[in-house]
Chain A
């Protein structure tokens, strides 16, 4: 893994904007990729590929959001606890668009640009010095 660019936020916004054919000015750190930027499941495949290529790392499936949120997607109670936590961490997110109990299929909607930025920082912190 390469060192992350100094302005990681701007770099990730550029990648997301490119993948979704959007003007980078439309992409905010708190934008939900699905709800605000129109991403579909296929776009996540594309975005993950672009992140992997740009930052020279491999992102295991689902790790992008699960690793960042500490949620076990197969445990409904864990999702509930995690979502409570997220409501505090993500005040900008349009929570009113969600149905009552948040389920596994709703989780990708929680991915914002910040989620990606946070994930990449975690990966750098977790990587042993000098390892790639």
Chain B
């Protein structure tokens, strides 16, 4: 018997606030993009971002010292996950066996680069391991590594929730968020878990990220120029019978998920086929996040290939900024919260052509 997969709780952190605030702001077409406040941007081509300025991580961490082991994306992830679990009405006992899977573009601060950047002007610093170990590493708090590991977001979500089921992290660049939700669906379909907290958290509003975008040409080109964002979205993903047995509120059913390299149309087609959904039955398409001239054509090509009609197309990143791996999950949460019932296709494309799609249905058949 096929195990059906539903969403029973959602939470988000965006520059507009929580999920309800974000849905209202997006519906009103209100932009959260403004000049970056948290660091100096005068040396960058781009000076705007969608920044989570009012976010306070402290209420979400116990004990308070747990915060020192976290970076910005982990803080977003923990907050969004706690909101999703509360939204689903789960108590600690119900969360205990839950799995956790979080997507993030990852934080790989190369030590050699740190060494070169910090090591001073002397010739050969970067290759001199004695100098590097003695001068640079000595000045780094040993906890630095623990803060920067890519899997810290899913680890801290599990620690704070007390979730002891399967735990994983997906770091496929910007599509990692949809892949995390797809992975959760497959854990449930395969019987590994009945309940998974899945989502994504990321930040592109950091000096290192801005430098990377600048160097790799993301800020070049015509308007609209790429606007980095940050935030998180998390979902309680649950087996339908499990959700019904505990009297959970069913928000939507996940009926299709696929990913592909270099071709969004393929990912979207596969996810629609899996869902048994014809192109003309799609009510809305959320093009999560491809908001650079360089990538826009991928969305357009996929739409041309899939639809004979013209379903409504939405995207959130022009209002929120591009929250990297969290961008598509935020769009999914906004879509599920603001447009039920209906059939929604959410697409995500990574900076190097990775593509993922998810289909959700707001009408959940018996």
Q: Mark B305-348, 1 if CB is under 8 A from A, else 0.
A: 00000000000000000000000000000000000000000000
Contact A21–B142 (Cβ < 8 Å): no
Q: Mark B129-165, 1 if CB is under 8 A from A, else 0.
A: 0000000000101110010000000000000000000
Q: Interface of chain A, helix or strand or loop or mixed?
A: helix
A42–B68 CA distance with the chains assembled, in angstroms? 11
A22–B65 CA distance with the chains assembled, in angstroms? 8
Given A19-B68, A21-B68, A45:B63 Cβ within 8 A: no
CB-defined contacts of B139 to chain A, threshold 8 Å: 53
A52–B143 CA distance with the chains assembled, in angstroms? 14
A43–B142 CA distance with the chains assembled, in angstroms? 10
Size category of the binding interface on chain B = 10 to 19
Min Cβ gap B300→A in Å is 49
Q: Interface of chain B, helix or strand or loop or mixed?
A: helix
Which of B64, B141, B143, B146 lies in contact with A21, CB distance below 8 A?
Answer: B64
Min Cβ gap B100→A in Å is 21
Count how many chain A residues have C-beta atoms less than 8 Å from C-beta atoms of the other chain.
Answer: 12
Min Cβ gap B54→A in Å is 21
* Chain A to chain B contacts (Cβ below 8 Å), 27 pairs: A19-B65, A19-B68, A20-B65, A21-B63, A21-B64, A21-B65, A21-B67, A21-B68, A22-B64, A22-B65, A38-B63, A38-B65, A42-B69, A42-B143, A42-B146, A43-B65, A45-B142, A45-B143, A46-B68, A46-B141, A46-B142, A46-B143, A49-B141, A49-B142, A49-B143, A50-B141, A53-B139
* Residue positions of A touching B, CB distance < 8 A: 19-22, 38, 42-43, 45-46, 49-50, 53
Considering the complex of A and B, which 3 residue pairs feature the smallest CB-CB distances, nearest first? Answer: A21-B64, A21-B65, A20-B65
* Residue positions of B touching A, CB distance < 8 A: 63-65, 67-69, 139, 141-143, 146
